[in-house]
Amino acid sequence: MTVILGQTFTGISIGAVLLLIALGLSLTFGQMNVINMAHGEFIMAGAYTTYVLQKSISGAGLSLLVALPVAFLVAGALGALLEWVLIRRLYLRPLDTLLVTWGVSLMLQQLARDLFGAPNVQTRAPDWLTGNITVLGGSDPLTFANSRLFILGLAVTAVVALSLTLRLTSLGRRIRGVVQNRDLAEVSGISTSRVDRTAFFLGSGLAGVAGVALTLVGPIGPTMGTNIIIDAFLVIVVGGIGQLKGTVIVAFALGVMQSVLEYSTTVSVAKVLVLVAIVAFLQWRPQGLYTLRTRSLV
Amino acid sequence: MTLFKGAPAAPAGKSPSVLAGRPARAWAGFAAAAVALFALAPLALSDFRLGLLAKYLCTAMVAVGICLAWGRGGLLTLGQGVFFGLGGYAMAMHLKIADAGPGNLPDFMQLYGTASELPWWWRPFGNPLVALAATVLLPMAVAAVLGSFIFRRRVKGAYFAILSQALAAAFAIWLIGQQATTGGTNGLTDIQGFFGYDLDDPVNQRMVYFVIAAVLLLLIALVRQLIHSRYGELLVAVRDSEERVRFLGYDPANVKLVAYVVAAGTAGLAGALFVPAVGIISPAMIGIVPSIEFVIGAAVGGRASLAGAVLGAIGVAWAKTALSEEFPAAWTYFQGLLFIVALAFLPGGLVSLAGIVRRRRAAATALPSGGAA
Amino acid sequence: MSQLSGLEIRGLRVSFDGFTAVDGVDLDVAPGDLRFLIGPNGAGKTTLVDAVTGLVKAQGSVLFGGAELLGRSVHRIARSGIGRTFQTATVFEGLTVLQNLDIAAGAGRGMLTMLRRRKGVPEPVARALETVGLTDLAHSPAGTLAHGQKQWLEIGMLLVQDVRLLLLDEPVAGMSHDERQATGELLEHISEERTVVVIEHDMDFMRSFARSVSVLHAGRVLSEGTVAEVQADPRVQEVYLGHAAAGDAALGSAGPTLPDEPEPSGGTASGRTGAAVQEV
């Protein structure tokens, strides 16, 4: 019983990391249909921001809290820059965007290698995140790591903040307007190019926040974004585009599935099984869990 | 009877057909390639360089398939490494069994000592004919099963690209996980013989090179026929407007499936021949990064043109060796830049440059004033 | 050539997420008819065609030549002899006119034919090129054709596909007066051997060429009959009047005109696109 609960919690915390990463993608890929392979390197930028800040701010806790907004700004600025320089020229060619941003991702990785060295680096977690919370006592105790709980809280906060932004603010309304009908939004006086850039800033900023979170559970390295980004893209594919609901559900579902399968088989077999499950799922719902149905041909 | 006597004249329609191949030029190109591969390269290059060229030619084989699937069919497959790997491992497994000799286990299995006898799924590869057939048929079968699932449910575009990439990641991770039976991260290394020929002997290495060159030319001829057949025209139609093709009574899923399966077959063959040329196959050659590198060569040269894709693949592979040996960091920047420039600013690849220049020149001569260029 | 078949629709219903776009339509199109479907925007005309061709899921029954179409996949419906065009001309822009037609002609081709190169011009393709007047442009990329020519190419593709029922969605939108006239004559010619259903907003075009008319409104068939019968139907006048009045109020112009003239009004309509609301 404890084992099942423990694995489920591990799965939820994997899901929380996935969710943090996928949230940004739900804006850039889900809403704008841009596949930004450099999203993983924005995560890396967030992580290195944490690392640099910890060198200059002595308290680990303070530096972590400062890192959250700073990483958001750093990654967001990178994203907006990328949108301005390259992506806005490619909105009608999503597959080319994918490969172009892959090129950007290669260059950013090399930049990180040149700046911080090829070996991984580590940050120190603040004391209040190093311990565990004992949920069930007794001979077979069930404990949750504080850092994992922190990430979970961060993910939930990010989801709420993003969803409120999209729903309540005029920026959110403009983003949704552009997503639903670009031409109409344009003639209604919305500067679609500015909305695009802002959405990209937000989405990339969220990647930066995810990068801060990742420093709590693993090392920081130039290629840290490459593998995890694919899982996050799968979350969007399975969750369906245009709605946060699907992203949230699928992130946690894939996290728990990965964790449970890892426990009953091995890490590598679990990876393959999760992919098989995804392909099977797409047989049932090729457009993902939730979609906005339209009459358009494509 | 003609109802439209007054139909407006066509705006520019001189070229006989957009796709129609020019047989004479194609034959000339083919002959030139054959001379270069079979006469010039072996004369001009050292054994070492010729070995490298053999490796590049394997990349070019993958690019032949990518040209069909992506350039013609619009299927951006970021998982060709999987099929390359299936072909490569099928070949390497046979060669390892043959190297070990009858009754013995391959060296790495003895080293880990976990298996007392050959795993059941290794055994069929002991037979050379089965192994040879598997290098092509196994990737094609996997692509057929996977593709029929994906295409029938109309998973396409970016979704397909991401799924194919996830497949490459999962396959590499799975191989690494099965250390005792696949060699894990190391892969299958130190392959000595190739159907009875000692691979350390330079003469046999040359033979492998000639086999690779011949297979590449064969694949080019095969895929060229496909591209210029009615099927090839239909494939372009599916790429441009899948829904429209469906309303004409075709099932686009089948059209795409053929291209995907053929591309998988060429990648499998490439992987199989890569093994004797290089002597190793490992997860590092089939994961996300190499899979996407297969695409870049085709993209740089020109994804929709066979010649462009093949030359691009060879060129990029050559540049990688030349640059990354001396300036590894510079190579990575250069590679990233290649992606960006080729795809953002020259989507037709380098071969489209010739077309652009020709059109400019034609435009310049067409204007009597000759001022605009 | 092909045997004439009619279309028999019973109780057709299509809804998207709670919105009912087609709400119990009964419609009979006789073999060899040249039927026009008209109605205000949102009446469900295009959705009706989408349902018949399998693009959207629908309830009810659609019989073509006695065979049920609902529940079949898009390409199977196409193979049973039904072809359609879209509001925006969709031809394969990267291929030549000839290649476009050759592909349209080839859905039943065997594997070996597909894997071989096309040699020459197949006879049905040559005939279709002739019929739609694109013989001289056979080797031009379809992407370079003028708008009207693309529409004709689409119709030509349906001809070589040898469909027995053509469903055309606003085939003359954006065409000049001469092009409209030519298209109308083409449709009359085609309907000698096939059944044709046209969705159209252009009332002059409808009056000139329709053999029969169905008026759709809010997902239902409001009225049916000859052009004259439909024009005399007070319910049709009401629907269009209500619509026209609203439209005119917005435009601040005078009262609406009814579709009361049986003859086409000559050149006045040339160049106008989808101006049904003001016009009817």
225-244 in B: which are within 8 Å (CB) of A?
243
The rounded distance, in Å, linking the Cα atoms of C265 and B74 is 48
Q: For residue C28, give both structure tokens.
A: 């009979």
Q: Do A286 and B149 touch (CB under 8 A)?
A: no
CA distance C272 to chain B (A): 20
Percent of chain A at pLDDT > 70 equals: 95
Q: What is the pLDDT of residue C12?
A: 92
What pLDDT, on the 0 to 100 scale, is given for residue B217? Answer: 96
Q: pLDDT category, B366, cuts 50, 70, 90?
A: low
Say if CB C121 and CB C138 are below 8 A apart: yes
Enclosing H/E stretch for B167: helix B157-177
Distance in angstroms (rounded) separating the CA atoms of residues B298 and B348? 10
Q: In this predicted model, which residue has the larger pLDDT, B7 or C34? A: C34
Q: Would you call B344 and A226 a contact, using CB atoms and an 8 Å cutoff?
A: no
At C61, phi and psi to the nearest 5?
Answer: -145, 135
Q: What is the pLDDT of residue C43?
A: 84
Q: Domain for residue B323, yes or no?
A: no
Average pLDDT for residues B236-240, to the nearest whole number? 90
Among chain A residues, CA nearest to B145: A279
Q: What is residue C196's predicted lDDT score, i.e. its pLDDT?
A: 93
**C57 conformational bin, left if phi > 0, alpha if psi -120 to 50, beta if neither:** beta
The two structure tokens encoding residue C207? 């009056």
Shortest alpha-carbon distance between residue B178 and chain C (Å)? 41
State the average pLDDT for chain A: 85
User: Is a pLDDT exceeding 90 seen at residue A52?
Assistant: yes
Average predicted confidence (pLDDT) for chain C: 80
Most confident by average pLDDT, B79-93, C47-61, C105-119: B79-93
C47 vs A contacts (CB less than 8 Å): 295
Asked whether the beta carbons of B289 and B339 are under 8 A apart, the reply is no
At residue C118, the pLDDT reads: 82
Return the pLDDT at B10. Answer: 37
Best of C46, C74, C165 to mutate (most B CBs within 10 Å, chain B) = C74
How far apart CA B116 and CA A48 sit, in angstroms, is 47
Identify all chain A residues contacting C16, using CB atoms and an 8 Å cutoff: 293, 295
pLDDT at A47: 94
Q: Partners of C182 in the beta sheet?
A: none
Band the pLDDT of B12: cuts 50, 70, 90. very low
pLDDT at A90: 85
pLDDT for C274 equals: 35
User: How far, in whole angstroms, is CA B140 from its chain's centroid?
Assistant: 13
Cβ atoms B270, B84 nearer than 8 A: yes
Q: Is the dihedral of CA A232, A238, A240, A244 positive or negative?
A: negative
The more confident residue out of C249 and C168 is C168
Confidence of residue C90 (pLDDT cuts 50, 70, 90): confident
Sorted by sequence, the CB contacts under 8 Å of residue B313 that are 6+ apart come out as B56, B59, B60, B62, B63, B294, B297, B298, B301
Q: Taking 50 as the threshold, does the pLDDT of residue C156 lie above it?
A: yes
Q: What is the mean pLDDT of residues C130-158?
A: 89
Per-residue pLDDT reduced to its tens digit, B148-158? 988 988 887 88
Mean pLDDT over A21-42 rounds to: 86
Task: Find the residue in C nearest to A297 (Cα).
Answer: C55
Task: Tell me which residue has tokens 């957009």.
Answer: B18
Per-residue pLDDT, C108: 75
pLDDT score of C161 more than 80 = yes
Split at pLDDT 50, 70, 90, the class of C241 is low
Residue A258 has pLDDT above 70, yes or no: yes
pLDDT at position B364 = 66
Q: pTM of the entire structure?
A: 0.84
Of residues A83 and C43, more confidently modeled: A83
Reading the block at residue A59, the tokens are 């308290």
Reported confidence tier of residue B5, pLDDT bands at 50, 70, 90: very low
Mean pLDDT of A121-149: 79
A286 vs B154: CB contact, 8 Å cut-off? yes
B228-237: average pLDDT: 93
Give the model confidence (pLDDT) of B100-143 as tens digits: 888 888 888 887 766 678 888 898 999 999 999 999 999 999 99
* CB atoms C86 and A297 under 8 Å: yes
Strand partners, C194: none
- Whether B184 is in a domain gets the answer yes
Task: Sort strands B197-198 and B193-194 into parallel, antiparallel or unpaired.
Answer: antiparallel
User: How many structural domains are present in chain B?
Assistant: 1
Rounded Cα distance, A121 and A220, in Å: 5
> A46, A50, A64, A53: which is closest to A108 by C-alpha?
A46
Q: How far apart, in whole angstroms, are the C-alpha atoms of residue C144 and residue B85?
A: 43
Using alpha carbons only, what angle is made at residue B348 by residues B347 and B349, rounded to the nearest 5 degrees? Answer: 90
Asked if pLDDT for residue C211 goes beyond 70, the answer is yes
By CA distance, what is B16's nearest residue in C?
C139
| Contact C36/B at CB under 8 A | no
Residue B372 has what pLDDT?
38
How many other C-beta atoms are found inside a 10 Å radius of the C-beta of residue A247? 29
Pairing of strands A142-145, B193-194: unpaired
Q: Among B160, B162, B293, B338, pick the best mutation site for testing chain A contact (most A Cβ within 10 A).
A: B162
What's the token pair of residue A63? 């530096």
Buried b (16+ CB within 10 A) or exposed e, C51-64: bbbbbbebebebbb
Q: Specify the pairing of strand C212-217 against strand C220-225.
A: antiparallel
| Averaged pLDDT for residues C66-89 | 86
> Residue A296's closest chain C neighbor by CA?
C55
Residues 6+ apart with CB under 8 A from B137: none
Which CA distances in Å does B360 have to B346, B363, C232? 16, 5, 61
Q: How far apart are CA A207 and CA C22, in angstroms?
A: 45
Q: Which of C103, C114, C132 sits opposite B248 (nearest CB)?
A: C103
Residue B172 is assigned to a structural domain of this protein: yes
**What own/partner pairs with CB < 8 Å and gap ≥ 24 does A213-216 have?**
A213/A16, A213/A17, A213/A20, A213/A150, A213/A151, A213/A154, A213/A155, A214/A17, A214/A43, A214/A46, A214/A47, A215/A47, A215/A50, A215/A51, A215/A123, A216/A123, A216/A125, A216/A129, A216/A147, A216/A150, A216/A151
Interchain pair A99, B296: CB under 8 A: yes
User: Is residue C138 predicted with pLDDT exceeding 80?
Assistant: yes
* Cβ-proximal residues to A92 (8 Å cutoff; 6+ apart), any chain: none
User: Mean pLDDT across the stretch B177-197?
Assistant: 87
The CA distance from C1 to C32, in Å, is 13
Domain boundaries, chain A: 19-225
In angstroms, the CA C32 to CA A9 distance is 68
Residues of A in contact with B292 (CB under 8 A): 99, 102
The DSSP output letter for B7 is P
pLDDT digits (tens, 9 = 90+) for B306-361: 999 999 999 999 988 888 878 878 888 988 888 888 888 888 888 888 777 777 77
Q: How far apart are alpha carbons B269 and B271 in whole angstroms?
A: 5
Helices A244-264, A267-284: inter-axial angle, 10-degree rounding: 140
How high is the pLDDT of residue C266?
38
Q: Is the pLDDT of residue A297 over 60?
A: no
Domain limits at B106? Answer: 44-287
pLDDT at site B13: 35
How large is the average pLDDT for residues B54-66? 96
Please, is A68 exposed, middle or buried when counting C-beta atoms within 10 Å of its C-beta (0-12, 13-18, 19+)? middle
- Chain B nearest-CA residue for C88: B244
Partners of C261 in beta bridges: none
- Give me the residues paired with residue A121 across strands: A220
Domain contains B218: yes
Give the pair of three-digit tokens for residue A249: 């559900």
How far apart are alpha carbons C126 and C105 in whole angstroms?
11
Query: Distances in Å between the alpha carbon of C266 and those of B39, C176, C187, C207?
Result: 74, 12, 19, 11
Burial B259-273 (b: 16+ CB within 10 A, else e): bbbbbbbbbbbbbbb
Separation CA C101–CA C122 (nearest Å): 10
Listed in sequence order, the DSSP H helices in chain C are: 45-52, 74-79, 97-105, 111-115, 123-131, 147-160, 177-190, 203-209, 227-232, 234-251, 276-279
| B213, pLDDT greater than 50 | yes
Q: Which CATH number fits domain C7-230: 3.40.50.300, 3.40.50.360, 3.40.50.880, 3.60.15.10?
A: 3.40.50.300
Write the ipTM. 0.85
